[in-house]
Amino acid sequence: MARRITGKLVIATHNPGKLAEMRELLAPHGIEAVSAGELGLGEPEETGHDFRSNAGIKAVAAAQAAKLPAFADDSGIVVDALDGAPGIFSARWAGPTKDFTAAMTRIERLLQERGATAPDRRRAHFVSALCVAWPDGHREEVEARVDGTLVWPPRGTAGFGYDPMFLPDGHTRTFGEMESIEKHGLPPLGLGLSHRARAFVKLAEICLEPR
């Protein structure tokens, strides 16, 4: 039986784009959310070999430091023609200045080098692994993905990270061209489209009171 989230929850991310999405997802559930930044928590080293273990590292570190339940996301974009890169290194490809134009350009250069110009050679998916950790060591974990195609040049200024390059299956606009409600809004207002929204729906089913 999964443990329910009650009271205050730390959102263990230092990424402002993710923080905004996680706050929006939690808002209808009446959870008092406080960010890692607001609490002055440090960023643990992400030494895991997959999304799930890195989400666990971040959630556990924040739960221990804040003595509160903590919610972390580890996510990234997995490009089929690049053997899964950048994957768990998606943030690192943007470098210390978090330059995602450079990171997207690097992906495009590598795709061109492999002759991956046709849409079916440009398949990719975003993954989100979510972990809630409690100070006593208990954890709940879920994971989800959204599939799509990479476009070039990037389109749109909404969202963050690799959004302008990602065209989700069944849509004509990239995540960078979508309103936040369209990218990660949940029914009845949205479709629960993004990887993070899909993972959150799974988490909400087991850990949150119904909206």
Kindly list the residues in this chain that would bind ligand ITT in the complex (CB under 6 A).
13-15, 18, 43, 46, 58, 73-76, 90-91, 100, 126, 159-163, 175, 194, 196
Residue (of 195, 191, 109, 210) closest to 152 by Cα position: 109
The β-bridge relationship of strands 166-168 and 139-150 is antiparallel
What is the pairing mode between strands 139-150 and 32-35? unpaired
Q: Which residue is nearest to ligand ITT (CB)?
A: 161
Q: Angle, nearest 10°, between helix axes 16-26 and 195-207?
A: 40
CB nearer to ligand ITT: give 4 or 23.
23
CB of 75 to ligand ITT, least distance (A): 4
Cα–chain-centroid distance for residue 123?
18
Alpha helices in 95-168 (DSSP H): 100-113
The contacts of residue 25 (CB under 8 Å, 6+ apart) are 184, 186, 196, 197, 200
Kindly tell me which of 100 and 200 has the beta carbon lying closer to ligand ITT: 100
- Output the smallest distance, CB 1 to ligand ITT, in A: 28
**DSSP-assigned states of every residue in 28-58:** GGT-EEEETTTTT--------SSHHHHHHHH
Taking the complex as a whole, the smallest distance from the CB of residue 167 to ligand ITT amounts, in Å, to 13
Task: CB nearer to ligand ITT: give 58 or 125.
Answer: 58
CA distance 23 to 34: 9
CB of 210 to ligand ITT, least distance (A): 25
Residue 83 a catalytic site member? no
Of the pair 30, 42, the CB lying nearest ligand ITT is at: 42
Question: Which residue among the candidates 50, 73, 74, 169 is catalytic per the annotation?
Answer: 74
What amino acid positions are annotated as catalytic residues? 74
